[in-house]
A and B are shown apart, each in its own frame.
Chain A
Amino acid sequence: MLPTIVAKSNRTLLDAAVNCAWRQWSVVGGGALESIRPTEALVDPEALVLASLALTAHEPRLGEAATNWCVTNNGLLSVGRLAALCDRFDTDDVQGLAALARVVRYDAKDHRWSALMGSPVDTVAKPIAQSRRANSPAATPRWAHEQTLMLRLRLGLGLGAKADLLTIFLAKPRAWMDISELVDLSGYARSPVQRAAEDLAAAGFVRRRDERPAAFFMERSDLWTEILYPTPAHRNIALRWQRWSDAYGFVSRWQAFVHRIPIEQPGEFALAVEASKLITVRPGLWHDLNVDLTRVATTSMSWEPLAHAFTILQRAFEGTS
């Protein structure tokens, strides 16, 4: 049993992550009902699929929503990026990706997904595919929602690093970003990111600063948003990138850690140490959320600094940060 203060942080964060996943599914067409309050930051589709698999133990319908959506919208998803972002989640949590890939491979007849199926393949593929509920089909994304920008650019420009980098540049306006940061944000390997950024710069989509390391920057993202969102309802739109793969990945890893604690009553100090270790694995997320990592990493006894960090992440999931 977790100490009360830790259990509270844990439960609140988990609930916020589950609710956020549902709100994001409703925006991209994977939820039955449109959310009253859609998520604020852009939806990262691969992060959402992996999050839904990771959160299935707490909310089984999320896995079903992810599977149905992937079958309908398989062409909008990057198989390579799904595989790459798995590293940000607990290994056991994303084991369901192989089963999901089998369903998409056979139901949507998309051969790209074979790469995620693992082995053995054919013996188990059909029963899983048949088990998918036919009465809960997914829809295509609601393009009017600005949160679907990443999918929208993929649809318009083609699936790949260029469309996704463009999304990141639009959602992080006026920020110089080097290749390492773009790799970290996008989840793609260094080589395609380097190529895509250089091409975007050569084509005049972004500016390049000739330093070591070279940095890239989108000067007038507002012009893009005027084209993409011309209606008055979208006036003064503020697109915002959120490190969803890191945010959901943290929840996945933390929940898995808590689940595997081998003793009945773990101490507050040890839980604080382990949580702070997990936080420092992907510091970019916490820097973006303005969490003081020094304070988190040097906590002497209490859970309080961790409770603060959990609350900030919870607010990010709730869209109230």
Chain B
Amino acid sequence: MFESDLHLLETLTQLGELLAIAGVQIEFVIAGGAGLIMQHIIQRGTQDVDVFAIRTPTGELVRATAGLPPQLVEAAREVGSRQGLAVDWLNAQMARGSDWLPPDFEARIRWMELPGLRIGLVGRPDFIAFKLEAAADWAPGMSKHLNDLVALKPSDTELAEAERWLAETNADDPFFANVAWARSHVADHRSKE
């Protein structure tokens, strides 16, 4: 369990050190709760680090639908076993199912340089879209994703943009009914503040 951004950073640094000492350099993009913790948007802990996109050997940044490279998996396992983390603490589960990337996705990424690793954090509009999508998948009902979406404090304009993006890759009903429900929950929360 990662309790803080410092713990996450320490773990990712160890991961990078192992890759660097093996002469490997990997570049990936984090989304999900770990990304929000590293940006100090949420305070909750998280079990894992969600890799959403990865740089291919040809230099292209793609959604990590094929999973993680073996060297990265091996190094993550080594770090995880020494920290008592879950075997799949670093995973690409959230990238599965579609090749879709939000428009101009790469331009919004904030990069962080570590030995052996270049880690990107997705931009705010992307976080909002991913969390709106996840909250809708769990709706109607409370979930950590809905709480994360509330913590992001998105404006109506940002939510509308996120919904427009989600329309590029999601079916109509009941998904968008759930999106509407999640948006109204965020609006309710905003009005109570």
Q: Which A residues fall within an 8 A CB radius of B? A: 261-263, 265-267, 269-271, 273-274, 298-301
Please pick, from B17, B81, B83, the residue contacting A270 in the complex, using a CB distance under 8 A: B17
The CA-CA distance from A263 to B22 in the complex, in Å, is 9
- For A271, list chain B residues within 8 Å (CB): 21
- Which single residue of chain B is at the shortest CB-CB distance from A298? B82
Min Cβ gap A296→B in Å is 11
Taken together as a complex, chains A and B put the C-alpha atoms of A127 and B21 apart, in Å, by 39
Per-residue interface assignment for chain B, residues 63 to 83, with 1 indicating a CB less than 8 Å from any chain A CB and 0 otherwise: 000000000000000100111
* Interface contact B81-A298, CB-CB below 8 Å: yes
Q: Which residues of A contact B81 (CB under 8 A)?
A: 298
Q: Is the interface of B mostly helix, strand, loop or mixed?
A: helix
Report the separation of the CA atoms of residues A258 and B23 in the bound assembly, to the nearest whole angstrom: 13
What are 29 A-B contacts with C-beta separation under 8 Å?
A261-B21, A262-B20, A262-B21, A262-B23, A263-B20, A263-B23, A263-B115, A263-B116, A265-B115, A266-B17, A266-B20, A267-B14, A267-B17, A267-B21, A267-B115, A269-B13, A269-B14, A269-B17, A270-B14, A270-B17, A270-B21, A273-B18, A273-B78, A274-B21, A298-B81, A300-B82, A300-B83, A301-B10, A301-B14
Most buried by B among A266, A267, A271: A267
Which B residues are closer than 8 A to A by beta carbons?
Answer: 10, 13-14, 17-18, 20-21, 23, 78, 81-83, 115-116
9 additional contacts, CB 8 Å, given A263-B23, A269-B17? Answer: A262-B20, A263-B116, A266-B21, A267-B14, A267-B17, A267-B115, A270-B14, A270-B17, A300-B83
A267, B83: Cα distance in complex, Å: 16
- A262–B20 alpha-carbon span in the complex (Å): 8
